Structure 1
C-alpha cells in the first residue's frame, strides 16, 4: 500500500519557485549595490531591513566587554559548556585526519544582526568567547555581501559560514566562488521517523523546535502508527496556542508540515531516504537500525534521549573538514616509473580526446624509455638518439 497522508503541506510548488526568483533578484540588487557603493549601501540596507544604522558596525573592545558584563553568569557558563562540547567533538573529528598544517593566526570576523534595535549581548559574548577577532552588529544579505566583497571598514574574508534566512542563503550561493562557503543551505528541515513506541507529545515538541526557524521550514512525521501520527497533530495544534514563536512555527507547520503513514518500518526507511532530510530523528524500537538502513540524510538523532536541538549544543552544525583546505602534491622520483606512467597517460588521455594531456605523457615516455613520437620530431623536440647521447 502506498504511503498515506494524515496531513499535507498547503504550500504550492509554483509559489515556492516564484518566491525563489524574487529572493534571487533582491539579493543580486543588494550585492551589486554594496560592490559599487560600499559602506553607504551597507548602511542603507541595514536601516531598511533591521532598522539599524551606525557609522561603524564593528564593536569596540569596550562595547564587547559591556555586552559580556550584561549577560547573566549562568548564561556565560552555559555558553562555555556548549562551546566546550562542540570543540571536543570537532577536535575528535580533526584527530581522525593526519598530516595537516594548521594556520595559527587566521582572522575571524563575526557578524550578528541587532534584535529590536539592540545589541544581542549573549550572542556577542558567545562570539567573543569563541575567539572572534572582530564583531559586527550587522545581519542579512548586507552582512554577507559586505564581508564577501569588502568595504571601507569591513575587511574581505575568504570563507563565510553560518545559517540565515532565504536571503542569506541566496547571497552565499551567488557569492560562492568569490569566497568559500560552508554549504548551499535551504530552509531547516526535520523528519521524525516513529513506530508505535514513540511518545506523540515528544514528536510534536521536536517538530516545532525546528519549525520556528522560519515560515518555510519543512517538518515531516513519518510513522508506522496512525495513532501516533494523529495524536502528534493534536499536540502540535495545542502547543502552538502558547508557543512564543508560534507566528513562525505555525506558518511553517501549516504550509510545509506533513504526517505520512506507512505499513512497515522497512518502508519507512525507504521513504525517508527518498525525502533525504537535513535532520532525521528516529523514535523506534531499535533506532540504531537507521545507521544500516538509511543513507540519504544530513544528521541522524537516534532515540528519544536526543533531538535536533542537541546538535547545535553538542556536535555543532558543521564538521571540521569545512574549515580545512585540502592540498596535494605529486613527485615521481624514478625516471623509469615516469616513463611508464607517461605511456599510460598518453593512451588514457587519447581515449578521452585530450591530445595535449597525452603529449605531456608521451614526452616523458620518450625521455625515459626511448619511445619515439612523430609529433615531437615534427615540432623540433629532442629525438631519441639525441637524448641517448646526452
Structure 2
C-alpha cells in the first residue's frame, strides 16, 4: 500500500485559467503590433528599453571579452560533448530505397527542418547549457537557420556567457527577447524576427503555455518545464545524495518538482530531515525551499516492484535510480525523459556537460515521447517509385477497394494506369 510521507500542494484551476488568458493576450498583442509589442513587453516585464532587438557580431565579441578563460574552456568541452552525442544519434537515422514487390520501389528520406527557433531561458540564472542543448542538435541535423530568443538582464543586455554559448553553438540570429512574447514572435514573426517552422527549448510556465497555444501554427519540440526529478531509492541509498539531487532541481523554479519514491521509511524520513539541513546553507534556498514545500513529495512503497510501478506511472522528466544493482532494472523502467542509473549518475552531469540533452518531457509526457534529440530537427519522409510491373500488381487491388468505398475518382486514377481507361466493367 502506497503511503505519502510528504504530499504536494494542489494548483488551483483558477490559476491555470488565468495563465492561459494572460498568455493568449500576449500572443495576440504581438500578432497585432509586432516589434512595438515586443519592446513594450521588454519595458513592462524586463524593466529595460532596447532599440535593436537583434544581437550584432560586435555584441558577441564584447560578450567574449567579459568571460574568464576557464569558462570559455568549460563551454568548449560541453559543446563538444553535446555535438559528439548528437552526431552519434544522427548516424542512426538512415535513408533507404527498397523494391518491396516487383516494380514497386519505396524509400525514406531524412530532411532537415529549414528554420528553427530556440528559446533559451534567462530568469534567475544564466543557463548556458540550455543554449547548447537547443542549438547544437539542430546544427548537427543541418537546420539552415537557427533563431535564438533569450531575455536580457536588468542591464538591458543578454548575459555574456549565454550570448557567447549561443553563438558558439551555432546560432544564426540572436534576439533579446524572453517570455511568451518571444514564442509569439518566433511563431508569427514581426518586423525584426522572421517566423520559424519549429520552436524548441525549455522555459517557465508562461513560455510553456505559449508553446502550447502556438502549436499547430508552428511545430514544437514538447512542453518542457518546469523541471522535475524523481529519485527511486531503497535502503542502500545515501540520504545526503538524494537530498542534494532533489534540491538541485528544486532550485530552478518554485514550480519545479522533486519526488522521492522509496521502499525505506527510514530513508524517506531521513531525506526529509536532510533537505531541511541542506537548505540552511544553500544560497538558492529561497526558491528551492518554496519549490520543495509546494511540490515536493516523498512516497513510500511496500516493495521495489510497487515503487517501479509508481515511477512508471508518474513518468518524470529526470529519473534517478539509486537502488542496489540499479542497472539490472533498466528494462523494467519505461516512462521517463532521461534515466540516470546508480548514485554516481547525477542528473546535473547531463544537465550540463555529459552530452545527452536536458530538454525533456514533463507533466507525464514521457509516457508518449522522449526528449529533444537530433531527430527533433529532422523530417523522416517517404517516397514511391512505381514501374509498369508494379502497376499490374497494385492497381487491381486499388480499383476494387476504391469501388467498394465509392471513391470513383480514386478508382479512375488507378484504372487508367492499368487499362488505359477511366472506368471499369460493371461486373467487377
Query: Conserved in 1, the CA contact under 8 Å of 2:48 and 2:154?
Result: no
Residue segments in structure 2 that go unaligned for 5+ positions in a row: 96-109, 115-141, 359-371
TM-score (norm 2): 0.80
Q: Does residue 176 of structure 2 align to residue 137 of structure 1? A: yes
Alpha-carbon deviations, 1:268-287, whole Å to 9, x = none? 11111111111100001111
Equivalent residue pairs, number: 368
- What's the CA shift for 1:227? 1.3
Match of 1:327 among 377, 381, 386: 381
Match of 2:337 among 295, 298, 311: 298
Q: Does residue 357 of structure 2 align to residue 316 of structure 1? A: yes
- Residue 227 (structure 1) aligns with: 266
Secondary structure at 1:27's aligned position in 2?
A: helix
- What's the CA shift for 1:362? 6.5
Query: Conserved in 2, the CA contact under 8 Å of 1:342 and 1:365?
Result: yes
For residues 1-390 of structure 1, the aligned pairs below 5 Å read: 2-9=1-8, 11-13=9-11, 15=12, 17-99=13-95, 100-101=110-111, 106-117=144-155, 118-313=157-352, 314=354, 315-317=356-358, 318-335=372-389, 337-345=390-398, 355-356=406-407, 360-361=410-411, 363-364=413-414, 367-368=417-418, 381-382=422-423
Inter-partner Cα distance in structure 2 for 1:234 and 1:348: 68
Secondary structure at 1:154's aligned position in 2?
A: coil
- What's the CA shift for 1:290? 3.0
Inter-partner Cα distance in structure 2 for 1:349 and 1:367: 14
Query: Conserved in 2, the CA contact under 8 Å of 1:210 and 1:219?
Result: yes
Inter-partner Cα distance in structure 1 for 2:254 and 2:82: 28
- What's the CA shift for 1:85? 0.7
- What's the CA shift for 1:188? 1.6
Quote the RMSD (CA, aligned, Å): 2.3
- What's the CA shift for 1:213? 2.0
Inter-partner Cα distance in structure 2 for 1:32 and 1:362: 46
Alpha-carbon deviations, 1:227-258, whole Å to 9, x = none? 11111111111122232222222111111111
Query: Conserved in 2, the CA contact under 8 Å of 1:46 and 1:142?
Result: no
Change in 2 beyond 3 A, CA 1:367/1:115: closer
Inter-partner Cα distance in structure 1 for 2:168 and 2:336: 31
Inter-partner Cα distance in structure 2 for 1:291 and 1:346: 49
Residue segments in structure 1 that go unaligned for 5+ positions in a row: 371-375, 386-390
- What's the CA shift for 1:89? 0.7
- Structure number with the higher helix fraction is 1
- What's the CA shift for 1:110? 1.3
Secondary structure at 2:190's aligned position in 1?
A: coil
Secondary structure at 1:326's aligned position in 2?
A: strand
Inter-partner Cα distance in structure 1 for 2:337 and 2:399: 41
Alpha-carbon deviations, 1:121-159, whole Å to 9, x = none? 110110111111222121111111112211112222222
Query: Conserved in 2, the CA contact under 8 Å of 1:339 and 1:366?
Result: no
Change in 2 beyond 3 A, CA 1:275/1:105: closer
Larger Rg: 1
TM-score (norm 1): 0.88
